[in-house]
Chain A
Amino acid sequence: MDTPTTFPPFAVTAEIDADADESISHYPADKKRSAVLPLLHIIQRNFGFISKDATLWVAEKLGLEPMQVHEVVSFYPGLREHAPGKYHFRVCRTLSCAMAGSAELMDRLCELTGIDRSQSDSHHNPIAVSPCGQWSVEFAECLASCGTGPVCMVNDDFHEEIPADKAQELLNQYKA
């Protein structure tokens, strides 16, 4: 876990605080807990993952026990406790994409970026990062575009019809 990271360390800016307040206002005043996911998304977007300090801040902000925040962070596959690469690839693993060759796409992406997935598993350690810290990969479950597989996301961008032989082309769009 000591690959170099491209994300800034967690620090609450005035803008982040204002974003958080805006999210909190979407829920009844006595139901602030509902804002857990929105706040965690703000943090992950800015800092790449959810650190212990960030968890404590969310708990404080919403008047919750830190455990009530951590149990959410640890449940959802979309929330990360470690930094991904600068470009994080989520390849759809599920049936229709697998039929279209998504496992081959994953293998090729790893080959081209020097990522070793042998230590990753779907549950506890889903993300594998390249030695340089630029790239990371993870299998995702059905991304709701099964007719155009294999599909994948790169950070927030969505890409469809990416067979393994287009992997290099895809990477070129994100050259460091």
Chain B
Amino acid sequence: MSDIQYLPGKEPHPCEYRMIFKNIDRAGWDPSIDCYLNDGGYEQLKKAIKMEPQAITNEVKASGLRGRGGAGFPTGVKWGFIPPNNTKPVYLICNCDESEPGTFKDRYIVHQDPHQLLEGMIISCFAVGAHTAYIYMREEFPEAATIMEKAIEEARAKNLVGNDVLGSGFDLEIYIHRGAGAYICGEETGLIESLEGKRPYPRIKPPYFPAALGLYMAPTIVNNVESLCHVKHIIEMGGGGYAQLGVARNTGTRILCVSGDVQKPGYYEVEVGKITMGELLNDVCGGPKEGRTFKACIPGGSSAKILRCDESFTIGQGDAEQSLSFFDIPMDFDTIAACGSMAGSGGVIVIDDSRKISWILNNLNSFYAHESCGQCTPCREGSMWMKKISDRIVGGHATPDDIQTLEDVAYQIDGRTVCAFGEASSWPVEAIISKFRDELTAETSEDNDDLSEEAKIQLQFISQ
């Protein structure tokens, strides 16, 4: 791969392992099918289409690939959930809603390397027996929608989609379906409702696991853009070969998106677990801004629980117990989870000592208050209350009790809602309060005691 040149100023960091992002910012690269074919494109599809579909799923299982959309669920296992004696059509949906704050990776794939995604999707459709696939693309990617549509037409002209793909007898249509600016459409069942032409109110699981009861109540595989791209490389390397990348149970590469208070924010594709938080932030991203120190970090998209940069964590049990400082955390799914947060969507948001934590909290609360779909009461009301309380804190009108109220509200959302948005909105609050309680309390005053009428009413509803 040493013959690949990147655009000036966009060269990958030496720590990176470019596989999914091999063609991003590549000199001389364009999104056309000719460019992709010249680079060995669609060879893996030719290989896969001669395999047994089940054998492809087995390779994906063997690869250990875990979904890159947020939950980290094993992709091959998910594919295996399609009921064995199913008689309905099977659908595949590519989740290109990319709306988790802090996440910016799928955007580059659909703008610069559309055929990699199509190749991954076609192989995946063949594996799961889907003859119709939709790319659910957020409305704010209008250019990408045009690029992907053109790519589909190019692929059709080469018999890579459409009837009888490459003479295999397999038929496949792929369509773009554009969203309309709602975060909840990233949640897979909300997405499906949206694709059915309704308000994107998520469905309750069980029973509505998409692999069994998805689009039009038929089995539906929903995967993230990046996850589907990996499938192509799994075919190329074999499941076992792919599993050599990364670390045990956390295989392959993943794209980390770093934003906020670092010298060099950006996207970095690394082997999962092969780089620590310290290496990522200090070496790859060039450390904190001039004269600043790192204060906190949200490691996996805005819904992930915040970590303090001066924290240490005890992980593992018995003989395997070890103590890790924040900077020693390897960037894999399991260790970040063991440290009480999640690797989520790979969006790493870095916060330095120039920021007030209350301001961060309020920005996040505003996001969730805006994006709650409103279907369940704890989430609809709670997200709004949390925003109102953090508005009071940043406005200097809060009392120390408000911090407790805020925490109580958060814990009354968590675990009581139809979809994981409830956790997504309350985890940041729970973590920020537990880790920065003193800083928040210092911004409140007993003198602000005269609660607003609304705050008094709110108090009546909180179990003490």
Contact = CB atoms under 8 A, between A and B. Distances in A.
Given A76-B180, A76-B182, A149-B259, A31 B367 contact: no
Interface string A24-60: 0010100101111110110000000000000000000
A147 interface: yes
A149 B140 CA distance: 15
A104 to B, nearest CB: 14
A146 B182 contact: no
Interface string B162-197: 000000000000010111111100000000001111
A130 interface: no
Contact of B104 (A34, A77, A93, A144): A144
Given A33-B198, A38-B177, A99-B355, A78 B366 contact: no
Interface stretch (B64-72, B93-101, B446-454): B93-101
Contacts of A75: 182, 199-200, 373
B385 to A, nearest CB: 15
A174 interface: no
The winner among A79, A93, A94, A122 for most chain B CB atoms within 10 A is A94
A111 interface: no
A5 B258 CA distance: 41
10 contacts: A34-B195, A36-B197, A37-B178, A41-B180, A72-B198, A76-B181, A94-B367, A99-B351, A122-B366, A156-B143
A141 B265 contact: no
Contact of B99 (A33, A34, A144, A158): A144
A146 B101 contact: yes
Contacts of A146: 101-104, 257, 259-260, 265, 347, 349
Interface in B255-270: 257-261, 265-267
Contact of A142 (B99, B139, B180, B198): B99
B107 interface: yes
B196 to A, nearest CB: 6
B414 interface: no
B363 interface: yes
A2 B103 CA distance: 39
B340 interface: no
B370 A96 contact: no
A70 B417 CA distance: 26
Given A34-B196, A153-B140, A94 B182 contact: no
B138 interface: yes
Contacts of B98: 144
A62 B267 CA distance: 42
Contacts of A72: 197-199
A71 interface: yes
B302 interface: yes
A31 B216 contact: yes
Nearest to B373: A75
Contacts of B363: 93-95, 98
A113 interface: no
Interface string A127-153: 000000000000011111111110001
A87 to B, nearest CB: 15
B123 interface: no
Interface in B104-146: 104, 106-107, 138-143
Contacts of A143: 140
Contacts of A93: 363, 366-367
A36 B179 CA distance: 11
A94 B99 CA distance: 11
A123 interface: yes
A99 B107 CA distance: 21
Identify the 6 closest CB pairs spanning chains A and B, nearest first: A78-B181, A76-B180, A78-B180, A33-B197, A146-B259, A36-B197
Contacts of A156: 142-143
B302 to A, nearest CB: 6
Interface in A67-108: 68, 71-72, 75-79, 90, 93-96, 98-99
Contacts of B138: 144
Given A141-B367, A146-B259, A94 B139 contact: no
Given A28-B216, A148-B265, A142 B178 contact: no
A3 B216 CA distance: 43
Contacts of B107: 144-145
A38 B134 CA distance: 13
Contacts of B265: 96, 146-148
A62 B177 CA distance: 17
Contacts of A147: 104, 257-259, 265-267
Contacts of A34: 177, 195-197
B279 interface: no
Given A26-B175, A98-B363, A123-B370, 20 more contacts: A37-B178, A37-B194, A40-B180, A41-B139, A77-B180, A78-B139, A79-B181, A93-B367, A95-B260, A95-B360, A95-B364, A96-B102, A99-B260, A99-B351, A140-B181, A144-B138, A144-B140, A144-B141, A145-B104, A158-B143
Nearest to A94: B101
A99 B102 CA distance: 12
The winner among A28, A76, A98, A147 for most chain B CB atoms within 10 A is A147
A144 B197 CA distance: 24
A109 B422 CA distance: 35
Contact of B370 (A90, A95, A122): A122
A96 B197 CA distance: 32
A140 B183 CA distance: 11
B371 interface: yes
Contacts of A40: 180
A148 B108 CA distance: 13
